[in-house]
Every structure is written in C-alpha cells, then in structure tokens.
Amino acid sequence: MEFHKDVLNIDAEKVCDTICTQIRSQLKNDMHKTGAVVGISGGIDSSVVAALCVKALGPKRVFGVMMPEKDSADESKSLAEVLAEHFGFDTTLESIYDGCEGLGVYNKRDEAIKQVFPDYQPTWKSKIITPTNLLEKETFNFFTVVVETDTGEIREERLPLKPYLQIVAATNYKQRLRMTTLYYHAEKRNWAVMGTGNKDEHMQGFFVKYGDGGTDLKPIAHLYKIQVFQLARYLGVPKEIVDRIPTTDTYSSEVTQEEFFYGLDFYRMDMLWHAMENNVPKEKAAEVLDLTVEQVERAFYNIQRKITATEYLRMEPLEIKG
C-alpha cells in the first residue's frame, strides 16, 4: 500500500455520515434505546462523540454529564459547558468528589505514594509518567511517580510494583464512579451510554476496564487520535477544545497523555501504528517520518507490546468450557 505523510487524512464528511447512521441504527435496532448519554470532560474525544450524537440524534436526545473531582482541572468543566452550549444539548454537573472521599480514593493513593516518598503530604501535587524516549531506546514501560512539594520542589522516583498497582487501583475508582453515574442518567431515560475512547486508547489499553471502558457503544474506537482531531474540525467543535493538549485529568499535577502513556506524539505514533498494521516496510516508514529504521523498529515493538499486554482489558468475562 502507498504510505505517505497524509495517509491518515480522512474524508470527514463520509466518516461522520457512516458513524451517525450506525449510531441511529445501533441504538434503535440493537439496543432499543432512544437517546445518548455522554460524559463530557472538555477533552477532544468526548466533545467529538457528543457532537456526533447531536448530529445523529438531534440535541434533545443527547445528555452530557460533567463529573469533576478534586484533581480535575478547572477548565474541564468550563470547556464542557462551552461544548454543550455550542451544540445545544442539556447537561448536569455530578461531582464525584464525595464518592471518591467516601471510598477513600485519595487516602489510598496517598498511602501508596508514601511508600516511595515517606514525607509526602496530601497537599503536594502528584502524577505518574512513563518514559517518553521510546524512539531513542528500547525500554520497558515502567512508571515514575513525580511529586511537587508545597515549596515547588519536584521529586521523582520509579514506582515499585506494589505502590504502582495501588495508585492505579485507587485512581481507577474515579473512572468507575463516572461509569455508574453515566448509567444512572442513561437508565432513567432508557438511553445508552456512549464510549469516548479512540483507537489509540481502545487498542493500546489506555482506559479503565468497567470504567471509561464500560459503555454501550464506541463510536470513535476505530479512529486514530489524529483522525479524531480532523473530525472535530469538521464537526465545528470549539477551537479552545481542539487546541487543548490532551491530558489524563486524573492526577493533581497536570500530565499529558503522551507522558502518561503513549511516549510519542500522536502524529508519529498513529503513522507508525498504521504502517505496522499495514505491513509497510520499515525503511519506507522511516523515510516518510524522517526516522531511522531502528527507531521505527522500537516504535513497532512498543506499540505491539502494549496491544498484546492489554488484551485482558478488552476481554469479556471468560466462562469455563467443557
């Protein structure tokens, strides 16, 4: 196949029509639901999904739920409001902060961070990140916890297994609380919960099983992130949302999706992944992306490893055969 710099450019109108037709058909024929509930975070993915739902169903059959908590950025709510006003659908604000407090989410996370930094204080900011040099060196995707003290001092340490798992388990509560909140609003209307994950998140496992992965329909799970940006522009998603740098919006220190999970900018990652999926020769991918063959090999290895390692997340509950 031909591989060039614009190979992932889409015919946004056509893609949009296909998605909208299937949203209508799947809601009506497969689920017998009459509308769509979308968790809106002011990020590009949920904004595109909400816009697609409005286009497919009309604004009266779309309901947006904003679900901030202690570590959410202030602009997440304000941008979600801008989105809802722009596309004319109703919303509600459901803070999950009390739920997180009640379940001990922050205490459990802080307890894990203290295993690495014994003097850690809950007033400090924190985030976890992965290596972002994956083109330069073949490395495992270990996590590093970064804390910012009250005086602004930045400290970081690689996470051993136990605190790493506890931090992830604690913060995953947030996505699972959001999922139950969305189902409350969907079930009381007999509507469906829409997933907002793109192909990068879905296939590389950047989602929480039964959290943001727990939905009825995933309208953009087949689109690379850079294609979601194209769709956003076509749909007229407000510029401030399109221009916002994608973050996890889960940790008290802002952490981009690139440093948290992917280790590469979206354009190169999506292009490399596309090349890998379509058996484009490594030499050709390297030439088009201005990389060395070794860098392409490292990226292929890293992407494939993430896809394989996260199969569990996409797996339905297994049954005993026999």
**Binding site residues, another protein, CB under 8 A:** 131, 137-142, 144, 158-162, 164-165, 305-306, 308-309
The per-residue DSSP string of 247-312 comes to B---SSS--BHIIIII-S-HHHHHHHHHHHHTT--HHHHHHHHT--HHHHHHHHHHHHHHHHHTHH
Cβ closest to another protein, residue 161 vs residue 318: 161
Tell me the angle at which helices 12-25 and 225-235 cross, rounded to the nearest 10 degrees: 90
Cβ closest to another protein, residue 26 vs residue 144: 144
Q: How far is the CB of 308 from another protein (least distance, A)?
A: 7
CA nearest to 234, candidates 55, 38, 36, 5: 55
Three-state secondary-structure class, residue 195: coil
Q: How far is the CB of 136 from another protein (least distance, A)?
A: 11
CA nearest to 117, candidates 161, 147, 150: 147
Q: How far is the CB of 264 from another protein (least distance, A)?
A: 16
Identify how many contiguous H helices and E strands the chain contains and give both numbers. Answer: 14, 7
Cβ closest to another protein, residue 158 vs residue 314: 158
Cβ closest to another protein, residue 28 vs residue 305: 305
* Contact by Cβ (8 Å): 36, 192: yes
Q: How far is the CB of 119 from another protein (least distance, A)?
A: 20
Cβ closest to another protein, residue 141 vs residue 256: 141
Which DSSP helix (H) or strand (E) runs through 126? strand 125-129
254, two tokens: 């802002």
Three-state secondary-structure class, residue 27: helix
Q: How far is the CB of 80 from another protein (least distance, A)?
A: 33
Cβ closest to another protein, residue 279 vs residue 308: 308
Cβ closest to another protein, residue 106 vs residue 261: 261
Cβ closest to another protein, residue 63 vs residue 164: 164
Q: How far is the CB of 116 from another protein (least distance, A)?
A: 13
Q: How far is the CB of 62 from another protein (least distance, A)?
A: 38
Q: How far is the CB of 51 from another protein (least distance, A)?
A: 35
* Contact by Cβ (8 Å): 88, 55: no
Task: Give backbone dihedrals phi and psi of 217, rounded to 5 degrees, phi first.
Answer: -150, 135
Q: How far is the CB of 145 from another protein (least distance, A)?
A: 13
* Contact by Cβ (8 Å): 67, 183: no
Task: Give backbone dihedrals phi and psi of 246, rounded to 5 degrees, phi first.
Answer: -60, 125
Cβ closest to another protein, residue 57 vs residue 159: 159
CA nearest to 160, candidates 113, 105, 193: 113
Instruction: List, edge to edge, every strand of the sheet that includes 154-158.
Output: 125-129, 144-148, 154-158
